[in-house]
Structure 1
């Protein structure tokens, strides 16, 4: 845990654990269902493995997290104390959506965006069988410009190398444009009309692809009306 505030205030006591860098973002990933170290890394791609290990240890020591290696693979799960942080994390996300909408270029991350999107698939709109969606980003370095989401009956995965399937759909877009769609700042249709997002595929897929993905849980948060 971080340095003590030396206050008896319960908020100060809580913040001695929670205001350490990355801690609440790590809790966010755990609340979203990630349990394995590798999945936590994918949801926090700019957090070093060493720091991730340290923060996990701190949360376990604080009683907010359990470490289970009984199945041959280590899994981390929030305890009831950790689960009680859900409204705290959600309130911060709502506040940030409403009051800090600006996105700097360095805050855009294709790895994190596609990882978030793969966790929000609406299977009622996805065809049966195996579907592959390729994302081609026009405004990032070539080595991170192409990503694939592979959707099967019982799994959804993200690939940064070609899985070898003919894509069901190809999304050609800028990273900023698709991030804004994901956050609810604009719609798929608006981005398409603006010429910053295009979907290649059959007519049916072109018409339905936007419905394959639910948006960020905070996409519908009302924004302040500009005066």
Structure 2
């Protein structure tokens, strides 16, 4: 840690020394979705060099942010209680950064972990609490997600399942979430393609997941 000592006595300074290195918070982001094996982290963070991933994992372990744990005869990485305290920080940072997103470049990917955390950042529990329980099956870029909203509770999991509305979109889904497009315009412009279910529920999705641009 000595090479990252900013020479200031401050909580923010110390936080940056612990998780401010490149890739560190993205590792934390993916582990907020759930425990991951080394290979799963490498796949989700496709551009991270293997030596950097190994270094960051060791540093985060030394800082007490993550730990190695046995799961069914394999080793996974998971957040410690101390590391999980970063969740509101990561969600707030995601909400802030989402507003500055533009359309994705061809070399930018959507992963299940990245989209899960963006949805959690955009989730409006106060709005969802007044709406009927709804399940969405969403293909978002390379991510296949089952999104279940029940009152103020949000559950996002990888894969398919029974849903009230199934749809697919690419990275332009941000235009719906930021309110740049309403649900009907998102469909007519080809940003969202409805697969099956109650088409009117796309408007509910846009109301439930919203970050004003």
Q: Same fold (TM over 0.5)?
A: yes
* Equivalent residue, structure 1, for 2:151: none
- Give the distance between the partners of 1:3 and 1:118, measured in 2 at CA: 28
* Equivalent residue, structure 2, for 1:222: 212
What secondary structure is seen at the aligned counterpart in 1 of 2:194? strand
Deviation at 1:61, TM superposition (A): 0.9
Deviation at 1:208, TM superposition (A): 7.1
As a proportion of its length, which structure holds more strand? 2
**Residues 83-162 of structure 1: pairs in structure 2 closer than 5 A:** 83-98=84-99, 100-103=100-103, 105=105, 108-109=108-109, 111-112=110-111, 116=115, 125=135, 149=144, 156-157=158-159
Q: In the superposition, relative to structure 1, how do residues 220 and 12 fare at CA in structure 2: closer, same or farther (>3 Å)?
A: same
Per-residue CA distance 1:166-194 (angstroms, 9 max, x = gap): xxx784x5x34335446665354322112
Please say if 1:190 is aligned against 2:180.
no
Please say if 1:41 is aligned against 2:42.
yes
What secondary structure is seen at the aligned counterpart in 1 of 2:73? coil
Q: In the superposition, relative to structure 1, how do residues 12 and 195 fare at CA in structure 2: closer, same or farther (>3 Å)?
A: closer
CA RMSD, Structure 1 to Structure 2 (Å) = 4.1
Q: In the superposition, relative to structure 1, how do residues 116 and 90 fare at CA in structure 2: closer, same or farther (>3 Å)?
A: closer
- Give the distance between the partners of 1:184 and 1:32, measured in 2 at CA: 26
- Give the distance between the partners of 1:58 and 1:92, measured in 2 at CA: 22
Q: In the superposition, relative to structure 1, how do residues 119 and 180 fare at CA in structure 2: closer, same or farther (>3 Å)?
A: closer
Q: In the superposition, relative to structure 1, how do residues 208 and 118 fare at CA in structure 2: closer, same or farther (>3 Å)?
A: farther
Matched residues, number? 186
Per the normalisation by structure 1, the TM-score is 0.60
Structure 2: unaligned runs, 5 residues or longer = 120-132, 147-156, 161-165
Q: In the superposition, relative to structure 1, how do residues 85 and 53 fare at CA in structure 2: closer, same or farther (>3 Å)?
A: same
Deviation at 1:81, TM superposition (A): 1.4
Q: In the superposition, relative to structure 1, how do residues 222 and 208 fare at CA in structure 2: closer, same or farther (>3 Å)?
A: closer
**Residues 198-213 of structure 1: pairs in structure 2 closer than 5 A:** 198-200=193-195, 204-205=196-197, 207=199, 210=202
* Equivalent residue, structure 1, for 2:124: none
Per-residue CA distance 1:5-24 (angstroms, 9 max, x = gap): 12222322221122100111
Q: In the superposition, relative to structure 1, how do residues 86 and 119 fare at CA in structure 2: closer, same or farther (>3 Å)?
A: closer
- Give the distance between the partners of 1:68 and 1:49, measured in 2 at CA: 20
Structure 1: unaligned runs, 5 residues or longer = 138-146, 159-168
